[in-house]
């Protein structure tokens, strides 16, 4: 069971992070605690499994990316570590992660690539192929942007 202070912290953390020089200091001030107390609580939340990840969502269309493609790759297990380092090094790649494959879907590495247009995404794919040597992939282009919302536990 969370204390009233912990609920207050979770409620604030599920909102946007202020774009200021010291965002955690500002959040702590809004809650009425010190920055150190806030950081200790966040650390405690991670250790207890209350908080699993903390992330930011970049609204890609607001920064000039009009085309997106999820590329799924079939990478040999013994090459994954080497290949994902190459893939993740591209500035156009916002996500690069491993997923379990199966007999009907043998792709095990997923990358999300953003570009100004489809041609720029295809150019990035070609460059990844050249550098990684991985030639088995599928490019799944975004056809429609769905509304994204983060989970809200306390409102």
- 65-84 residue pLDDT tens: 668 899 999 999 999 999 99
pLDDT at res. 133: 97
User: What's the pLDDT tens digit per position in 100-120?
Assistant: 999 999 999 999 999 989 999
pLDDT at res. 32: 97
Is 60 exceeded by the pLDDT of residue 61?
no
pLDDT at res. 64: 58
Domain layout of the chain by residue ranges: 4-48, 60-141
Which of the residue ranges 13-22, 55-64, 121-130 would you say has the lowest mean pLDDT? 55-64
Please give the radius of gyration of the chain, using alpha carbons only, rounded to the nearest integer: 20
Residue range 114-133: mean pLDDT, rounded: 95
pLDDT at res. 107: 97
Helix intervals (H) in the chain: 4-13, 23-31, 35-48, 80-88, 118-132
The CA distance from 67 to 141, in Å, is 8
Other C-beta atoms closer than 10 Å to the C-beta of 132 total 19
CATH class of 60-141: alpha beta
Which of 20, 112, 124 lies closest to 68 in space, CA to CA? Answer: 112
pLDDT at res. 122: 97
For residue 112, list its beta bridge partners: 70, 95
What the block records as the tokens of 148 is 């994204």
Q: Which helix (H) or strand (E) holds 70?
A: strand 67-73
Residues 133 and 82 sit within 8 Å (Cβ to Cβ): no
Describe the crossing of helices 4-13 and 35-48 by its angle, rounded to 10 degrees: 90
């Amino acid at each position: 069971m969370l204390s009233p202070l912990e609920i207050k912290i979770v409620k604030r953390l599920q909102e946007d992070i202020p774009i200021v020089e010291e965002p955690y200091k500002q959040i702590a001030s809004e809650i009425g605690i010190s920055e150190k107390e806030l950081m200790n609580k966040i650390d405690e939340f991670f250790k207890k499994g209350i908080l699993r990840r903390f992330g930011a969502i970049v609204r890609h269309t607001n920064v000039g990316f009009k085309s997106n493609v999820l590329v799924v790759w079939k990478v040999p297990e013994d090459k994954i570590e080497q290949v994902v380092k190459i893939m993740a090094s591209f500035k156009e790649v916002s996500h690069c992660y491993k997923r379990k494959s199966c007999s009907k879907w043998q792709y095990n590495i997923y990358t999300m690539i953003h570009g100004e247009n489809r041609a720029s995404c295809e150019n990035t794919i070609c460059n990844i192929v050249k550098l990684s040597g991985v030639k088995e992939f599928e490019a799944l282009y975004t056809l429609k942007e769905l509304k994204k919302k983060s989970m809200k536990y306390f409102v």
